[in-house]
Amino acid sequence: MSAPFVTLAEIEAARDRTAGHVRRSFLDRSPTLSRRLGHPVHLKLEHQQITGSFKLRGATNAVLSLDAEARAAGLVAVSTGNHGRALAHAARAAGCRALICMSALVPQAKIDGIRAAGGETRIVGRSQDEAQTEVDRLIAHDGMTMVPPFDHPAVIAGQGTLGLEILEDAPEVAAVLVPVSGGGLVSGVAAAIKARRPEVRIIGITMERGAAMHASLAAGRPVEVEEQATLADSLGGGIGLDNRLTFAMTRALVDDMILLTEDEIAAGIRHCYREEGQVVEGAGAVGVAAILAGRVRVQGPVVAILSGGNIDRNDHRRLVCEGGP
Ligand SMILES: *Cc1c(COP(=O)(O)O)cnc(C)c1O
């Protein structure tokens, strides 16, 4: 393969580098989902990560991989929220500044999270691409250092540390359900797991509304999709027309992609709360949602990554009180 894939060695180095800075999340068996699927289902409780999502792994590995000069210039990124919050936290821990640019579609709870973690925020336009234009300007004019949310080797390697933990805690796993947006998480997790256990199936999950990676895989090259409001807001945004890593890695390493409706995602959020006792955001609930919707076909134990928990508390309360399955 010609694409410069992130390697197992880089992921193992990321684990050593980030140890003590990120939390090793629990893997919990779900009796209700196991009964429903007919195979053991384990939930990787990564929404309990510091900053509320796995994004801290990639951001921390990227920041700790930078030299002192790049850090001192200040860090900048586009984010739908969780990467920004993670980068703000990682930057503060490393003693540098972080400025997060985002579109007006990002929920207020996520903006507040970034500010609480010590980050500065700037709202630009109504799409990730417009926010990216501002980041490009800050790099060119102010010499700031970009830490992108997914298409970067150190970020992918950081997310891949989740894959190492899954293999340690569930060595018998047959399939892993991974939420997909830009593909940094699924690329890292797949690289880690396939390097050791190539037969484990990696199943990417996303929403029907504005699934850029799915559209790109279908087209055979990165394409743009219209950004739409979705319960899985952390899965919105494009993969970048000049995508360097995650498109090729996802195409090569991911066995299957499942697309979910908004009702299916809502049912996933409700199940996580009512049956598992977990407050999980839409993007984090898609693995559970896919099992509930009867869309997952496997021959053995499954791990679903609950990737994040940063959902507006009022939105969450409305969803879980509304009734519905
Ligand atoms: C960013 C994010 C994802 C998707 O990760 P990618 O690396 O962009 O594919 C999934 N869930 C949550 C909670 C996220 O914040």
Q: If we measure between CA atoms, which residue out of 247, 209, 202, 251 comes closest to residue 227?
A: 209
CA of 73 to the centre of ligand 1 (A): 26
Look up the pTM and report it.
0.95
Q: Which residues contact 24 (CB under 8 A, 6 or more apart)?
A: 165
Is a pLDDT exceeding 60 seen at residue 69? yes
The residue-averaged pLDDT of 22-43 equals: 98
Q: Pick from 44, 49, 82 the residue to mutate for probing ligand 1's pocket: most ligand atoms within 8 Å of its CB.
A: 82
185 contacts 162 by C-beta, under 8 angstroms: yes
Is a pLDDT exceeding 50 seen at residue 1? no
| Domains of the chain listed by start with CATH number | 8-54+152-322 (3.40.50.1100), 56-146 (3.40.50.1100)
The residue-averaged pLDDT of 283-287 equals: 98
CA of 182 to the centre of ligand 1 (A): 7
Q: If we measure between CA atoms, which residue out of 21, 115, 122 comes closest to residue 76?
A: 122
Is a pLDDT exceeding 90 seen at residue 324? no
Is a pLDDT exceeding 50 seen at residue 136? yes
Between the alpha carbon of residue 215 and those of residues 29, 83, 221, the distances in Å are 33, 23, 9
Express as a percent the part of the chain with pLDDT over 70.
98
**Could you give the residue numbers annotated as active site?**
55, 307
* pLDDT at site 56: 98
Express as a percent the part of the chain with pLDDT over 90.
86
Residues with CB under 6 A from ligand 1: 53, 55, 82, 150, 179-186, 234-235, 281, 283-284, 307-308
**If you write DSSP's letter for every residue of 27-65 in order, what string do you get?**
EEE-HHHHHHHTS-EEEE-GGGSGGGBTHHHHHHHHHHH
For residue 297, give both structure tokens.
């076909």
